[in-house]
Amino acid sequence: RDTEAKVKVAMAPPARPRPASALRRFFGIFGDVRAWTSLFFMLLSLATGIFYFTFAIVGVSLSAGLAILIIGIPFFLSFIGLLRVIALGEGRLIEAMTGERMPRRPVHPGPPRSFGARILEMLRDVRTWTTLAYSVLMLALGVAYFVIATVGLSVGLAMVAGPLLEGARLVGLELPRGIETNDAVLDGLVSHPVSLLFVAVLGVLLLTLLMHLARAIGRGHARLAKALL
């Protein structure tokens, strides 16, 4: 009977969690680790995009220029091999940042094959060329991600910090040296305490929307990378 009681409890369906309110789900994005890592990936994508684009363009250009020489083929094969290694590293980075599982190479390489057969298989693999396209595309994506992240963060933080500093000045608090409010910006409409609070609330909403957008961009980019890498 004790065993049956334990099995019955173990086999019982888990209690359904109480659904969170829409407001809690909206602002709960700040507790989502994937949103923060996706935002960091957006900031990092400018550097990685420039590197991937430069590596791809220089590699293709030198491979085409050296094609008439004896070292052209070894250089091209080395470039393709390094490109596949970079693609593997990019996949692991995206997997760590977004949580989306990237395609992994088979553990067992299969039956022994000659060096020429492995090269032909690498060149016939469609992912070799989609990886090249991904490297070129990452420059435009990296610039777009970086601009969205930096503009959203700078505007949102300014809308939150500016009213707080201006409110402190209005109540007579002395600001630390080196911190000044811009009266030309925070004049007129935002000089009233209610207006300052309204601007600060808008800043919080903008930062919250940015976090949601960062998580969505991270998931979308992970799917793109999963299809190309």
**In this predicted model, what pLDDT tens digit does every residue of 24-42 receive, in sequence order?**
778 888 888 899 999 999 9
Higher pLDDT residue, 98 or 162? Answer: 98
What integer is the mean pLDDT of 197-223?
90
> How confident is the model at residue 150, as a pLDDT?
95
Any idea what DSSP says for residue 21? P
Higher pLDDT residue, 6 or 199? Answer: 199
> How confident is the model at residue 177, as a pLDDT?
55
Cα separation, 221 vs 5, whole angstroms: 48
> How confident is the model at residue 46, as a pLDDT?
93
Cα separation, 92 vs 90, whole angstroms: 5
pLDDT over 50 (residue 122) = yes
> How confident is the model at residue 24, as a pLDDT?
79
Number of H helices, E strands in the chain: 7, 0
What integer is the mean pLDDT of 59-75?
86
What integer is the mean pLDDT of 123-129?
84
Dihedral sign computed on CA atoms, order 32, 155, 197, 172: positive
91, 135, 94, 103: which is closest to 218 by C-alpha?
94
- Out of 12-16, 51-55, 182-186, 224-228, which region has the weakest mean confidence (pLDDT)? 182-186
SS3 172: coil
Nearest 5°: the CA angle 216, 217, 222 is: 100
* Confidence at 12, pLDDT banded by 50, 70, 90: low
Give the chain's mean pLDDT. 80
> How confident is the model at residue 167, as a pLDDT?
65
